[in-house]
C-alpha cells in the first residue's frame, strides 16, 4: 500500500527560451533523489502548471516518472477546474506509471461542497490511481471543509491531503474527523502541522535544500521536536523570503543564486522584485550551500 509522508518536493518547471528545459529537469530529479527526498510532485502550483499546455504537462510527468524509475514516489499534478480535463490527466498519470496524483480543488468556478465531493469521487471511481487531495483556497477561491474531506477519505483511492489553508485549526479538525494523512502545503507550517499528527510536507524550499527539509521531517516523525524546531527556526527567514513576491518567483531566484538556474517564468508570472531578490540573496548566503 502506498505510503505518502516525509519531505516531498513540489518541483519547479525549468524553462529556457520559452520551452521546457528537459535536460535541467532531469538534473533536478537526480539531485532530489540523491539528496534523499521522499517523493516528487511535478507540475503542481510551483511547477507553473496553469501556464503549460496539455502536451507539455504530460511530457513533464512522463520524464519525471521515467527518470525517477521507482526510486521515489511520483505524485503528479493532475487537477483541473473541469472534471473531464482532470480525468484526462489522472488517466495519463496512471498510464505512465505514476504512484499517485495531486488533485487540486477545481478553481475559478467555486463549486459547492457537494460539487467538490462529486468531482473527486468521480475521479476516484473512474481512474484506479491513488489521489492526494490539494486544498489551497488562496489559489482556487474555494475551501474544502473538513467534513467534505472526511467524506472523501472513505474512498480507498483517496490516500492523503495536501493542506494549504494556513489553518492549524482546519488541519486539527480533519485529524479529529478521519485518519487521512495530512501533508503541509506551507513550508513555514510543516513542523507545527507535524506536531498535531501531520505526515510531512509538499515543500517548495526543498527544490534547493532537500536534505534540510528531509532531516526536519525525520526528526519530527520520531518525536524529536526540539531538534526539528532548531532546523525550523534556522530555515524560517529563508522560507519566508521565498514567498515575498509569490511562488515560484522566490525559489527560482534562490536556485539561480545557488548555481541551479531554472530559467525564466512564463507570463503572467514574473520574476521577483529587486528588494525581494536582495532579501533572498541574504538568506541564501547564510545557508552556505555548495555551488551546483
Q: Are 137 and 168 in contact (CB under 8 A)?
A: no
What gap in Å lies between CA 182 and CA 150, rounded to an integer? 12
CA dihedral 149, 154, 160, 161 (to 10 degrees): -10
C-alpha cell at 248: 515560484
SS3 label, residue 155: coil
**Residue 162 designated active-site:** yes
Q: Are 211 and 31 in contact (CB under 8 A)?
A: no
What gap in Å lies between CA 291 and CA 90, rounded to an integer? 37
**Residue 214 designated active-site:** no
What gap in Å lies between CA 31 and CA 151, rounded to an integer? 38
Neighbouring C-alpha atoms within 13 Å toward the C-beta of 64: 33
C-alpha cell at 59: 511530457
**216 contacts: CB under 8 Å, gap ≥ 6:** 7, 190, 191, 228, 231, 232, 235
Which residue is catalytic, options 126, 162, 215, 286?
162
CA 199 to chain centre: 14
**Burial of 281 from C-beta contacts in 10 A (0-12 / 13-18 / 19+):** middle
Backbone φ, ψ for residue 158 (5° rounding): -100, 110
Which residue is catalytic, options 19, 110, 134, 252?
134
Active-site residues: which are they? 134, 162
Amino acid at each position: 500500500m502506498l505510503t505518502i509522508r516525509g519531505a516531498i518536493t513540489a518541483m519547479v518547471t525549468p524553462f529556457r527560451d520559452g520551452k521546457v528545459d528537459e535536460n535541467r529537469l532531469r538534473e533536478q530529479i537526480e539531485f532530489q533523489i540523491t539528496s534523499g527526498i521522499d517523493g516528487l510532485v511535478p507540475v503542481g502550483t510551483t511547477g507553473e502548471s496553469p501556464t503549460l499546455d496539455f502536451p507539455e504537462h504530460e511530457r513533464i510527468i512522463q520524464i519525471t516518472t521515467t527518470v525517477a524509475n521507482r526510486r521515489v514516489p511520483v505524485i503528479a499534478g493532475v487537477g483541473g477546474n473541469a472534471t473531464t480535463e482532470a480525468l484526462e490527466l489522472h488517466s495519463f498519470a496512471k498510464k505512465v506509471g505514476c504512484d499517485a496524483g495531486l488533485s487540486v480543488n477545481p478553481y475559478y468556478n467555486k463549486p459547492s461542497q457537494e460539487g467538490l465531493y462529486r468531482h473527486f469521487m468521480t475521479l476516484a471511481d473512474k481512474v484506479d490511481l491513488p489521489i492526494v487531495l490539494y486544498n489551497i483556497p488562496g489559489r482556487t477561491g474555494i475551501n474544502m471543509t473538513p467534513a467534505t474531506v472526511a467524506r472523501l477519505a472513505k474512498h480507498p483511492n483517496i490516500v492523503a491531503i495536501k493542506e494549504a489553508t494556513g489553518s492549524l485549526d482546519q488541519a486539527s479538525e480533519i485529524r479529529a474527523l478521519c485518519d487521512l494523512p495530512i501533508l503541509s502545503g506551507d513550508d513555514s507550517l510543516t513542523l507545527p502541522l507535524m506536531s498535531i499528527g501531520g505526515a510531512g510536507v509538499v515543500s517548495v524550499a526543498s527544490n534547493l535544500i532537500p536534505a534540510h527539509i528531509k532531516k526536519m521531517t525525520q526528526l519530527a516523525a520520531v518525536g524529536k521536536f526540539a531538534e526539528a524546531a532548531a532546523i525550523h527556526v534556522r530555515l524560517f527567514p529563508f522560507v519566508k523570503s521565498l514567498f515575498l513576491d509569490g511562488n515560484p518567483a522566490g525559489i527560482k531566484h534562490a536556485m539561480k543564486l545557488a548555481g541551479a538556474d531554472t530559467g525564466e517564468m512564463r507570463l503572467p508570472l514574473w520574476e521577483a522584485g529587486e528588494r525581494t531578490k536582495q532579501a533572498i540573496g541574504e538568506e541564501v548566503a547564510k545557508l552556505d550551500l555548495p555551488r551546483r
